[in-house]
Chains A and B, each alone.
Chain A
Amino acid sequence: MKRRTLLWNSLKSVLWVGFLFPVVRFLGFKQNLQRTLVVNRPAAGIWVKDSIVLKAGPDGQLEVFSAKCTHLGCRVHFLPDNHFFECPCHGSRYDAEGQVIRGPARRPLRRLPFRWLKNGKIEITLISPAQKS
């Protein structure tokens, strides 16, 4: 390859990168805002509401999970007779603690942080700034 061709190709590559880099950075920008959801205190049992799972014990103990399957994000539903969660898209199963009992999912359901409000309601943090989507 001639030196001039090499130089020209290098310059073109630099120009392409100079053009594409800001475009990709612009397109890929996403603000990770803190998102919270306030719900009423549930009765004892396991409840799937929108994208969250509320697990309330008879002693008032509460656990909150994301209802999104960790495989590909479909919403799981709870089967009370079998006492497990099931994903309708690819068949993953989780026990009542959110642990995987059948794949293809590999990770347990994501636990969500929450706090009790003074009015007795619960504020659940769906996405915190530190979390990636």
Chain B
Amino acid sequence: MMERMQKSLNRTPLQYPVLQKLRHWRQNLGLPLWGELSLASLFVAILSGVLLAIHYDPGPGAFSSVVKINETIPFGFFIRGVHYYSAEIFVIATIVHTLDHFWRRSFIRYPLGMWMMISLLLPLAFWADFTGFILPGNLEGRFAGEIMHHLAGSIPVIGQTFANILIQVDQPGHFFRLPYLHHVVTITLALIFLTQVHIQRLTPFRSALLWTLILCIVPATLHTVSVGIPPNGVADPVKGPWYFLGLQELLSHAAPFWAGVVAPAALLALFLSLPALPYKWVKSVEVVLWLGLAVYVVLTCIAAFFRGPGWAWTF
């Protein structure tokens, strides 16, 4: 049964001439694999994050400490830029790596427990980047924190407890305390642990590290990452991080619990359960997941390009 399933479902890039060419092109240029790039960017993000933490204040002065890092502290803008770009590369590389292996049906080679553990790296990458989006203490970050709290709070029975573990929004001066704790400790430790489980090492290859450094240092030198809108400012619309724009669009149409909790959790549960699904269901679930992704991409494009003040349509 297992053999038949593997034979029927196995899919490699070598079967497809276009992908074969891409692979040659990548090898000739010495470009790293997406998973390698993900590890290297996590490595750079952690190191630059430790440097940033020295000057960052997770208290009421969060925004002013980020302004100070950007404008006053020597090379502050550069360290912050490297952290920002390495985090972006980490999210992008983790998404592409996951999609690549989903398309190749790598789940047929993993036991359920292992597949679930390594797949959790993707939501953890989102959570790491999202807490990083909250921490600068700007208007966007404040609203993102409020939304995270309210979405978690919409879960029946355990919602309020869960929400207060993630972030406490009505404690003055404590808004950034828990996202900061999770950003630098909880999520980072979980990422390190799961990466070790996934590839049995934590140090990236030199070529991947070199590419990551180039991809971080060049933009961080040329462009200062904005501190965003001051927390007491007014802006309309206020948009979340690019990977959650689809969710933001969905939330403007459907109830928070269904759009923000049930829909993503259902897709994640389907993805996590892939190795355990009966053979005849696998292809149907794959179709559901690819369709879900396509819908999410469309929603993201709508939110990114066609939403203006008051979340109204703009062209």
Q: How far is the CB of B138 from chain A (nearest CB, A)?
A: 13
What's the count of A-B pairs with C-beta under 8 Å? Answer: 83
Q: Smallest CB-CB separation from B254: which chain A residue?
A: A104
* In the complex, B195 has a CB within 8 A of chain A: no
In the complex, A68→B142 CA distance in Å? 12
In the complex, per-residue mask of A1-44: 1 if CB is within 8 Å of any chain B CB, else 0: 00000000000000000000000100110100001000000000
Q: Are B164 and A77 in contact (CB under 8 A)?
A: no
Q: Smallest CB-CB separation from B161: which chain A residue?
A: A28
Q: Are A88 and B236 in contact (CB under 8 A)?
A: yes
Q: Which residues of B contact A56 (CB under 8 A)?
A: none
Q: How far is the CB of A76 from chain B (nearest CB, A)?
A: 10
Query: CB within 8 A of B251: which of A28, A104, A126?
Result: A104
In the complex, A118→B170 CA distance in Å? 28
* In the complex, B143 has a CB within 8 A of chain A: yes
In the complex, A75→B231 CA distance in Å? 10
Query: CB within 8 A of B143: which of A30, A75, A86, A91?
Result: A75
* In the complex, B252 has a CB within 8 A of chain A: yes
Q: Are A133 and B169 in contact (CB under 8 A)?
A: yes
* In the complex, B118 has a CB within 8 A of chain A: no
Q: Which residues of A contact B237 (CB under 8 A)?
A: 88-89, 91
Q: Which residues of A contact B146 (CB under 8 A)?
A: 68, 72-74
Which residues on A are within 8 Å of B, measured CB to CB? Answer: 24, 27-28, 30, 35, 50, 68, 71-75, 77, 86-91, 93, 104, 126-127, 132-133
Which residues on B are within 8 Å of A, measured CB to CB? Answer: 142-143, 146-147, 149-151, 153, 160-165, 168-170, 172, 232, 234-238, 248, 251-256, 309-312
